Amino acid sequence: MSLVKKIILWFLLFVPLVFILLFSSYLISRMAPGDPVIEYLPPHFTAEQYNAKLQELGLDRPIFEQFLFFYIGNLFTGNWVISIVILLSLTFLIAVLAAVVQQRYMEYRRRKRGIDKNY
């Protein structure tokens, strides 16, 4: 199998894995105890302020719509800091992706040099 086919295969396996990781990290952050809207409001707030912030954060929509339009949308626009939980999960995801890329690159270099032929 050529290197181009391996890269394409790896990419086709990588995209669903990233989607699953992002969705599971989002679900974990949403299932955390507490109300995320209250963190953005002053100590004494009205119901109108609460509902406005709820709509601004998109938490009044279905969970999958929240994930696609707010979580993924904010990810691609660079607005990563919606909450501390999401920021930590994205930092962890970036660290894991960097480690995987580095490991694959080192394996490729070893195979190219002929150091380890057990692959």
Q: Provide the residue type at 119 as one letter.
A: Y
- For the chain, domain boundaries: 3-113
pLDDT tens-digit series, residues 31-45: 777 777 887 888 899
HSE-up (13 A, CA, CB side) for residue 70: 20
DSSP 51-94: HHHHHHHTTTS-HHHIIIIIIIHHHHHT---S-HHHHHHHHHHH
pTM for the full predicted model? 0.52
pLDDT tens-digit series, residues 57-100: 888 888 888 888 877 877 777 666 555 445 556 667 777 778 88
pLDDT tens-digit series, residues 8-22: 888 888 888 888 888
Round to whole Å and give the CA distance between 51 and 57. Answer: 10
